[in-house]
Structure 1
Amino acid sequence: MNSPALFMQASGDGHPLVLLHGWGMNSSIFTPLVAQLPQYQCLQVDLPGFGDSAPLDGGFDAWVDQLAQHLPEQAMVLGWSLGGLLATRLAQRYPTKVAALITVASSPYFLATAEWPGIPAKVLQQFTQQLQQDLPKTIERFLALQAMGSDTARDDIRRIRELVLAKPQPDATALADGLAMLRDIDLREDAATLQLPWLRLWGKLDGLVPHRVITQMPTADNITDAIFAKASHAPFISHPHEVVTEIQRWSTATGLI
């Protein structure tokens, strides 16, 4: 059976909340979080070539355009890691689609430089090489990185693996395209122009997106930052109650619910 162009699972009622996952993952990663957000209409999306969505040629903006075609108007969009990069671009290019933005453990530029905290280029290069040699092992290694550093890392890694492996293995080309996006896409200028309500959630122990990047990010009245002191790269797995509480508090304060 052919995969749909873009798989999306809806649950709950209320204001639409779109959830975009990170590299190597799929929308199942958000299932525990969605269960705690019944006041929203949660839309769990598999990115192109991940989970139950068909691969898509054309790169970053082609992915953004396809997402925009399937999303409702004036949605809240939550993007985790690579999903946050896509969500940021969606908000910049399709302002009628995105009423508010939530980024989780995400940066407008993922590559580390002398001035910018991020993922070292050699790490991304290693993943690129390993993808060509052993795709399943590479995904397993990356799954483990999501929780490294958190107090509950072992349980978190087990939970992440259970959720992600419930769906088909990602397409190899989509994985390579996603790594290229993490290496090449720079939305720092785009992010500085956003005027919509923007909640940024960070794990203080995150080894992939260091929380100190906050000091390099734009600040404005429309932006709210929350740092989870004992969380790593997947705070919604390790600290779901705290993440839900922050989303609900912010949504209420900004008049979104």
Structure 2
Amino acid sequence: MKLNRIVIPSFNAQNQANPNLTLIHGWGAESRVWEAWATEAFSKDYTLTLIDLPGFGDSPALPNSPTLEADWIEALVATMPEKTHLLGWSLGGLLAQQIALQYPERVTRLICLASTPRFTQNDGWTRSVSPKIINDFIKAIGLEISSVLKKFWRLQLQGADDSRALMKALTKHMSSRKIPSIVPLNQGLILLKDMDNRDQIKHLAMPTLWLLGERDPLIPQDIRLNLADLQPNAQIDILAGGSHIPFFSHPKETAEHIQTFLNQVDPKPHAKL
């Protein structure tokens, strides 16, 4: 099954299509949350594909299944261009890592924005979110979805300069969004709680950028120490003052980090075999 996508074509001076850049958003969001930012930042040089996760935005939901992670990845891959740079934010980053691992021939470069190979704490993995927070969200969305989503937006902007003003602007920006149903919201939270790519990311075959917010309340910047051990060849950048929604709190700086990475010449393989 294919998901909803927004495609923004781009052509060079010879009227040839520019390289693809595909964006996968995070939990509780949809492609429209970063469409304007991505268009301004990248549409001159890249053909953009923004994919709505299953059950979010205009994408159909997938049924509950014991193969939930595989089902979501299959749907995303079916919607992607054949060859593309891949940018995943938060939950989108977790999924993008698995896509890059399973379909390395499809992904040219990988950008994990405000993301991590494991979102929740366990067995010594402490620079991440307590499972209790995820479980509390799972319980809460069964009672009132809209207020929970607003709470999550507020949490992501904590620590950013002018967080109140940013929250007000983000609420206005997302006022026309479609509220997801409880099924895809629960599915996304389950993936956030259970996905674990730590032992696999050393096998990523393409250049990888981890772009972390200095003030991200969900993924502390100290996780860079873990990432350096798990994927020694990756590039790890810290966005000064950045929140968990860095493209909203620091749009220009976030775009510059990503554009610089995409413009790099890569002379050697990156996978650790």
TM over 0.5: yes
Q: Does 1:241 align with 2:247?
A: no
Could you say what secondary structure the match of 2:104 adopts? coil
Deviation at 1:248, TM superposition (A): 1.4
Counterpart in 2 of 1:143? 153
Counterpart in 1 of 2:120? 111
Q: Which amino acid aligns with 1:51?
A: G
Counterpart in 2 of 1:72? 81
| C-alpha spacing 1:54/1:5, structure 2 compared with 1 (3 Å) | farther
Deviation at 1:55, TM superposition (A): 0.1
Q: Does 1:231 align with 2:242?
A: yes
Match of 1:125 among 118, 132, 135: 135
Deviation at 1:5, TM superposition (A): 4.4
Could you say what secondary structure the match of 2:157 adopts? coil
Q: Does 1:27 align with 2:31?
A: yes
Match of 2:8 among 3, 11, 14: 11
Deviation at 1:208, TM superposition (A): 0.7
Deviation at 1:254, TM superposition (A): 3.2
Extract unaligned runs of 5+ from structure 1.
none
Q: Does 1:83 align with 2:95?
A: no
Q: Identity of counterpart residues, as a percentage? A: 31
Could you say what secondary structure the match of 1:49 adopts? coil
Cα separation, 2, equivalents of 1:208 and 1:63: 23
Q: Which amino acid aligns with 1:196?
A: M
Cα separation, 2, equivalents of 1:111 and 1:243: 24
Cα separation, 2, equivalents of 1:211 and 1:72: 32
Counterpart in 1 of 2:270? none
Could you say what secondary structure the match of 2:21 adopts? strand
Query: Is the radius of gyration larger for structure 1 or structure 2?
Result: 2
Counterpart in 1 of 2:54? 48
Counterpart in 1 of 2:213? 203
Moved more, 38-47 or 28-37: 28-37
Q: Which amino acid aligns with 2:6?
A: Q
| RMSD across aligned positions (CA) | 1.5
Counterpart in 2 of 1:219? 231
Counterpart in 1 of 2:14? none
Counterpart in 1 of 2:42? 37
Cα separation, 2, equivalents of 1:36 and 1:187: 29
Could you say what secondary structure the match of 2:210 adopts? strand
Moved more, 28-37 or 14-23: 28-37
TM-score, normalization by structure 1: 0.93
Deviation at 1:241, TM superposition (A): 0.9
Cα separation, 1, equivalents of 2:50 and 2:178: 16
Extract unaligned runs of 5+ from structure 2.
11-17, 267-273
Could you say what secondary structure the match of 1:9 adopts? strand
On the 8 A contact 1:52/1:167 being kept in 2, the answer is: no
| C-alpha spacing 1:5/1:69, structure 2 compared with 1 (3 Å) | closer
On the 8 A contact 2:2/2:79 being kept in 1, the answer is: no
Could you say what secondary structure the match of 2:120 adopts? coil
| C-alpha spacing 1:165/1:5, structure 2 compared with 1 (3 Å) | farther
Match of 1:192 among 187, 202, 224: 202
Cα separation, 1, equivalents of 2:92 and 2:28: 11
